Amino acid sequence: MQKKIMVTQSSMPPFEEYIKEVGDLWESHWLTNMGEKHRKFQSVLEGYLEVPNIELLTNGHMALELTLQAMNLQGEVITTPFTFASTTHAIVRNGLTPVFCDINSETYTIDANKIEELITDRTCAIMPVHVYGNICDVEKIERIAKKYELKVIYDAAHSFGEKYKGVGIGNYGDASCFSFHATKVFNTIEGGAVSYKDPNLGNLIYELKNFGIHGPEEVSAVGANAKMNEFCAAMGLCNLRHVDEEIAKRKNIVERYRSNLEGIKGIKLNNLQDGVQSNYAYFPVVFEEKEFGASREEVFRELEKNDIYARKYFYPLTNTFSCFQGIYDVNQTPVALHISKRVLTLPLYADLALDDVDRICHIILGLKDGKKS
């Protein structure tokens, strides 16, 4: 029976290593509320990401939502529709209005050249998204933010461990929000974090993730319950020991995909950026039907027939969601719309066999010019 190949597979440490890491929890019975594992993971993670401060949370969405809440913003946030639902929802759930900027056709990140024309007297922040491991134009965004005195909160869910010009990606903007979901390059089963510069912001996020509790008898804000538990922190400690090795494996897989698919008419591959130390988070491929001879949908279905599950990531755009029906005009982000209808992220995880990569590519190339594999 042919095995199923999913778009991703969670990286996990050796079983014995995790059991050893969580063993002392049976002695302490301290399972949550910022215990020893939480504090240790927080400290080690700050060092790995090379950031001055970090706050751990239960997931990446709460990192976004509580960071916005802690900043006490009002008005409009310029962002991108080419992202996961979490980015847009975090803005809306804070009573803010998303203003959608189109994307760069090469990096799929927010088009920094189009941000300034969207700024109004109601603009309070920019929330760009690092996509597939591609980094936003952080330098231009910083210049714009300083000029107009805007906050910058990066959705850094796809950029764990990356550096730009030797600087950890979590150092850009006022805050960077990471996801440690099981599907990511680095996971804590579920989890997330915020890196930040201003200690006051960190104090507010800390309070908000614990119901707004300021002390034993003081609740100073309306907060949430977004604390990372000890078992997730323990998984983080284990996976962090192996993450560089996992990224190296992902690099080999990406290079194998490239050797099979590069230079094929109608196939556009994701180019690595200058100055970026990549984490090889995803392998997106854009299919131009007229040139390739088959549509993204046909490629998707043919892979599925062979028990290979790619993902239309990101499709649909967040500004087309039914929950926002009639509010936004998708034609204002034409590049994002074009890419969303043609992009497919192929399976990519550390333990994916190179022979399976070859088989995936063989099936795809078998569709070229309308042929079947």
- Whole-number average pLDDT of the chain: 97
Tokens found for residue 300: 């998707």
pLDDT above 80: residue 2 = no
SS3 229: coil
Q: Is the pLDDT higher at 156 or at 1?
A: 156
For CATH 3.40.640.10, list the domain ranges present in the chain: 15-238
DSSP 8-state class, residue 104: -
> Residue 276: which of 83, 177, 139 has the closest Cα?
139
Tokens found for residue 111: 């088009």
d(CA 82, CA 65): 18
% the chain with pLDDT above 90:
96
Decide if 160 contacts 142 (C-beta within 8 A). Answer: no
User: Side chain identity at 166, as an amino acid letter?
Assistant: G
User: Side chain identity at 29, as an amino acid letter?
Assistant: H
Q: Is the pLDDT higher at 215 or at 258?
A: 258
Strand order in the sheet with 163-164: 167-168, 163-164, 276-277
Question: What is residue 230's predicted lDDT score, i.e. its pLDDT?
Answer: 98
Q: How far is CA 135 from CA 32, 129, 310, in A?
A: 34, 8, 23
DSSP 8-state class, residue 164: E
d(CA 198, CA 132): 28
> Residue 344: which of 317, 313, 369 has the closest Cα?
313
* Strand duo 97-100 + 76-79: pairing: parallel
Q: Which CATH class is domain 243-370?
A: alpha beta
SS3 57: strand
Q: Find residue 278's DSSP bridge partners.
A: none
Question: What count of other Cβ atoms lies within 10 Å of the Cβ of residue 348?
Answer: 22
DSSP 8-state class, residue 261: H
Q: Find residue 346's DSSP bridge partners.
A: 283
Decide if 348 contacts 6 (C-beta within 8 A). Answer: no
Q: How far is CA 338 from CA 102, 273, 317, 362, in A?
A: 11, 22, 10, 26
10 Å CB burial of residue 83 (0-12, 13-18, 19+) is buried
This model's pTM is above 0.95? yes
C-alpha torsion sign, points 61, 65, 70, 75: positive
Question: What is residue 373's predicted lDDT score, i.e. its pLDDT?
Answer: 44
pLDDT digits (tens, 9 = 90+) for 245-293: 999 999 999 999 999 999 999 999 999 999 999 999 999 999 999 999 9
SS3 207: helix
pLDDT above 70: residue 171 = yes
d(CA 226, CA 194): 12
Question: What is residue 1's predicted lDDT score, i.e. its pLDDT?
Answer: 65
Q: Find residue 175's DSSP bridge partners.
A: 153, 196
- CATH, range 15-238: 3.40.640.10
Question: What is residue 124's predicted lDDT score, i.e. its pLDDT?
Answer: 98
Length of the chain: 373
pLDDT digits (tens, 9 = 90+) for 315-360: 999 999 999 999 999 999 999 999 999 999 999 999 999 999 999 9
For CATH 3.90.1150.10, list the domain ranges present in the chain: 243-370
List, in sequence order, every beta strand (DSSP E) within the chain: 54-57, 76-79, 97-100, 123-127, 151-155, 163-164, 167-168, 175-179, 192-196, 213-215, 218-219, 267-269, 276-277, 283-287, 343-346
> Residue 160: which of 188, 138, 140, 200 has the closest Cα?
188
